Amino acid sequence: MSKFSGKAFTVSRHEFLKTVKRKEFLFMTFIFPVFLAGITLAPALLAGMTPSEDQSVGYVDMTGSFDFPGEVTNAGFAVGPFGEKSSTIEFVRYGDNPEASRALRAGEISSYIVIPEDFLEAGVIELYVSEKGVPVPRANLAADLSDIVVTSLLQDEVEDVVLQRVKDPVNIKLFDIGEGGEANEQGVADILGDLGLPFLTAFLLFFSIFSASGFLLRGVSEEKENRVIEVLLSSVTPTELLTGKVLGLGAVGLLQIVVWISAVALGASYALPLSLDPFLLFLAVVYFLFGYLFFASLMAAVGALTSSLQESQQVAGIFTFAAAAPIIFMQLLLTKPDSPLAVSLSLFPITSPVAMLVRIGATEVPFYQIAASLFILMLSIHGVIIFSSRLFRAYLLMYGKRPAFREILKNMRGG
């Protein structure tokens, strides 16, 4: 693959144009991100566009010791430009259970609660809803009732500052300590930017690498199975054919990952004020290029060795399963990113593209580990390309015969 001739360029351009016109490529590259963003953000956006859902809740206080406010307003949260929404719960007092029940059936209230006489001993509040109502209390109602109970029980027993602390005991602020010892507060957007975006980028990288290399595997297998490869080899050498296919489909994969990352960046900036790390984006592109070259060369060898598309996909599944190891061990990578297994996965060439990006999101990865990971991946690419090129030349025109393992090793050595 060191010589990029005019014929290799022609093959590369043909593979690129043929692939980008495929319906499945157009769907996965452009429609799928929109669809995914739609099902993720649409409920939150619709919630932001719809009026706030207020409630009218009746109550029967059989203890006579609780002081309910006329109404309580709760602030909410909405994704996008609509900002926060608020909802109101209006409390209506009733003398007994039958009176509240009649109001519920008449639709005057959405639900009602009963505080039994033995509440202080049992701690139970009864909630009644209509037959078609929600069988469990909503989060806002439960929180508001807790505030009302605490306030009523402690109003004249403790100071106001103590009462407020009992009602809202702990608020945690997260800070990280930089290399210079300075402390920086971490908000939700910072946490999502540091952890969520590398995590999502690693997933996109995994699917993009195997999407592009999968196109290469299918192309080689189908051309070999349909004997089209014989016509192609009458005009180009095996090396030119392999070089053109790898680079053309690599450009397809690069286009796909750029579109996906751009969609993630735009979606994230719309939903939350996230800042993308340019170094992370740079590493994502570098790991895509290296990871694609590594797996594409493997897939080319698999396509040349096998005699049908089905057989080639079965063999390629072994490499796909191995490359999915970071996803299998995702919990370990996130909770113990500096463990020996996590470091090994980020250095091993088959798993390093995905594992390293996840580790970068979970911890401060030393630069020498990133450099070592890229260096090992580059050496692996060099070796795989050499061996795959030899197998590609040796077995591209072989039909109906499964080569022996010793024969494969012999051709890999160039014998």
pLDDT in tens, 315-331: 778 878 888 888 888 88
Could you give the angle at which helices 367-395 and 278-305 cross, rounded to 10 degrees? 20
Checking if the pLDDT of 402 tops 70, the result is no
First to last CA, the chain: 19
Domain that residue 281 falls in: 6-34+186-412
pLDDT of residue 376: 94
pLDDT class for 136, splitting at 50, 70, 90? very low
Could you report the per-residue pLDDT of 85-130, keeping only the tens digit for each?
Answer: 567 788 888 888 888 888 888 888 888 888 888 888 888 888 888 7
Percent of the chain with pLDDT strictly greater than 90: 5
- Cβ atoms of residues 43 and 127 within 8 Å: no
Choice among 66-70, 149-153, 172-176, 300-304 with the minimum mean pLDDT: 172-176
User: 43 lies in a domain?
Assistant: no
Q: In the predicted model, is pLDDT for residue 139 greater than 60?
A: no
Residue 188: pLDDT band with limits 50, 70, 90: very low
Q: Does 40 reside within a domain?
A: no
Please indicate, yes or no, if residue 44 is contained in any of the structural domains: no
Pairing verdict, β 71-75 and 55-61: unpaired
- Asked whether residue 194 falls in the same domain as residue 135, the answer is no
**Looking at residue 131, what is its pLDDT?**
65
- Number of Cβ within a 10 Å radius of residue 216: 28
**What pLDDT score does 200 carry?**
67
**Sign of the C-alpha dihedral, residues 343, 345, 348, 349?**
negative
- What CATH number does residue 70 fall under? 3.40.190
Q: What digits encode the pLDDT tens for the residues 263-284?
A: 766 665 555 555 566 777 788 7
Average the pLDDT over each of 2-11, 138-147, 265-274, 296-305 and give the range with the smallest value.
Answer: 265-274
The predicted-structure confidence for 288-313, as pLDDT tens digits, reads as follows: 788 888 887 787 777 777 766 677 77
Residue 400 lies in a domain: yes
pTM: 0.59
Average pLDDT, the chain: 75
How confident is the model over 338-349, as pLDDT tens digits? 999 999 999 999
pLDDT: which is higher, 3 or 398? 398
| 265 and 128 share one domain | no
- Res. 78: pLDDT tops 70: no
Q: Are residues 78 and 28 in the same domain?
A: no
- What is the model's pLDDT at position 74? 64
Question: Do residues 156 and 305 both lie within one domain?
Answer: no
> Do 276 and 325 lie in a common domain?
yes
Say if residue 198 is in the same domain as residue 317.
yes
In a domain, 101, yes or no: yes
Q: Are residues 166 and 196 in the same domain?
A: no
Do 210 and 135 belong to one domain?
no
Helix (H) or strand (E) holding 394: helix 367-395
Total of domains in the chain: 2
On whether both 139 and 259 belong to a single domain, the answer is no
State the pLDDT at residue 329: 85
Q: Is residue 176 part of a domain?
A: no
Give me the residues paired with residue 120 across strands.
none
CB atoms near residue 181 (< 10 Å): 6
Please report, rounded to a whole number, the percentage of residues in the chain having pLDDT higher than 70: 72
DSSP characters for 349-383?
A: TTTHHHHHHHHHHHS---HHHHHHHHHHHHHHHHH
